[in-house]
Structure 1
Amino acid sequence: MTSTVPASVLRTADGSALQAVLLDMDGTLVDTEGFWWDAEVAVFGELGHRLDASWKHVVVGGPMSRSGRYLIEATGADITLAELSVLLNERFEARIADHVPLMPGAERLLAELARHNVPTALVSASHRRVIDRILQSLGPDRFALSVAGDEVPRTKPHPDPYLRAARDLGAHPSRCAVIEDTATGVASAEAAGCRVVAVPSVGSIAPAPGRTVVASLEDVDLSFLRSLITGMN
């Protein structure tokens, strides 16, 4: 569940028009997109099926419901989506038990946002059980709240997760800067009306109105995020 946000966290520094920063998790803050594919390969291998490497670009970066359905249909595996979800979550959790690698620039950016009291939310298509594990590495105190894929009626690419995060932070979506790494996440944030910074991890993402593409989180700081909002037409 999302947490209760104290009134004090709703202030942004220096009167900035930026009201909140909403961040994706896998592939954006933590270098774990490949871990999900490894988990899928292992689980389906145990079920007697070999995954085609070309499927990786189809399933990585999307919600488990979409990825799971695709792989079940592609392989013909005799397993339900609910059963597969349990196995994949268990395998992924085992993979991150000892170490969760951060993306370059993630630690610096999170520290800067916290230092300036910028309301920040973690918005992921991953399930709550996985988010809570990774939050321990990211620092749960750095986020006013988090939204999991299994806590909204429709997860990414629908706008629901970002609309919920903005609402619970008391922010207007158009005054929120979102950082995402996949086309699915970008579609979700843009459908919610947010300004988007794309840091592609799987496949390419082209610049577009209201969307800025950068090579790394090393290129993102608070000043840059504020400029996205104050520069709106």
Structure 2
Amino acid sequence: MKAIIFDMDGVLVDSMSYHAEAWDIVLKTVGVSIDKKIIYELEGANYRQVIDIILRQHGRIPTETEIQELGHKKLVLFEQIERVRPFDGISELLETLKPKYHLAVVSGSNRKTVQKTLNTFFPNTFKVVVDGEETMIGKPSPEPYLRAIERLNISKNHCLVIENAPLGIRSAKSAGLRCIAITTYLSREFLKEADSIVDNHGELGRYLEKEAGREKDKEHTNSNI
């Protein structure tokens, strides 16, 4: 393992309740009411995909103008209401990982939100950042993770993804990557496509430590053959 790629919302920072609230308010301005749970299930998709999926579910095909207007309104509202904070233990975990691995972020959020969040809470931590504006098609397409792999210039076999939502897991797996899921918002039944599932960031840290130990033992064994 040479690189670890993190989703941002729901993995690094506790933010999804603010995204869900902002989407709920904005969509109501065009007569669409949602169960906020759908925003958690669509996490990882970019704003274009969220608007398109939800409006089509309500029998409407959004125009490009409508997508841009709703996306802008959602961003403005999110910035007004958000009180985003890192999950307990994640900053300390990243500090232990940073000297050992190349760290990256692949997020469906817009560039402004991603840059603000990472610069505020995790400055100079990630070698590669792929945001929701970098690819036309976001998660569950493999494209965002393939873009990260290309920029990391590391073989897929040496990369590990940390996700917390179905679309993100599907994106990582369809890109040919191993994926660990964390149950920050959704239960295990939503995350079953992942290779392994952990229940909190402490457990994630222990998993990564064991993974590193297994690799070290394997290297030692191979060197004695």
Report if aligned partners of 1:157, 1:187 keep a CA contact under 8 Å in 2.
yes
Q: Determine the structure 1 residue equivalent to 2:223.
A: none
Report if aligned partners of 1:36, 1:60 keep a CA contact under 8 Å in 2.
no
**1:193 to partner: Cα distance:** 1.4
Report if aligned partners of 1:31, 1:102 keep a CA contact under 8 Å in 2.
yes
Q: What are the equivalent positions in structure 2 for 1:175-186 lying under 5 Å apart?
A: 175-186=158-169
Q: Which moved more, 1:102-111 or 1:65-74?
A: 65-74
Q: What are the equivalent positions in structure 2 for 1:1-233 lying under 5 Å apart?
A: 18-53=1-36, 55-56=38-39, 58-73=41-56, 74=58, 80-96=66-82, 99-114=83-98, 116-205=99-188, 211-221=195-205, 222-226=208-212
Q: Which moved more, 1:67-76 or 1:121-130?
A: 67-76
With the length of structure 2 as denominator, give the TM-score of the two structures: 0.81
SS class of match (2:84)? coil
Hey, what's the Cα distance between the residues in 2 that align with 1:229 and 1:121? 21
Determine what percentage of the aligned residue pairs are the same residue: 26
With the length of structure 1 as denominator, give the TM-score of the two structures: 0.79
Hey, what's the Cα distance between the residues in 2 that align with 1:117 and 1:54? 36
Hey, what's the Cα distance between the residues in 2 that align with 1:210 and 1:42? 32
**Paired residue total:** 212
Unpaired stretches in structure 1, ≥5 consecutive residues: 1-17
Q: Which moved more, 1:72-81 or 1:29-38?
A: 72-81
Q: Relative to 1, partners in 2 of residues 1:203 and 1:75: Cα closer, same or farther, differing over 3 Å?
A: farther
**1:150 to partner: Cα distance:** 1.2
Hey, what's the Cα distance between the residues in 1 that align with 2:130 and 2:35? 31
Report if aligned partners of 1:20, 1:176 keep a CA contact under 8 Å in 2.
yes
**1:210 to partner: Cα distance:** 6.8
Q: Relative to 1, partners in 2 of residues 1:54 and 1:139: Cα closer, same or farther, differing over 3 Å?
A: closer
SS class of match (2:145)? helix
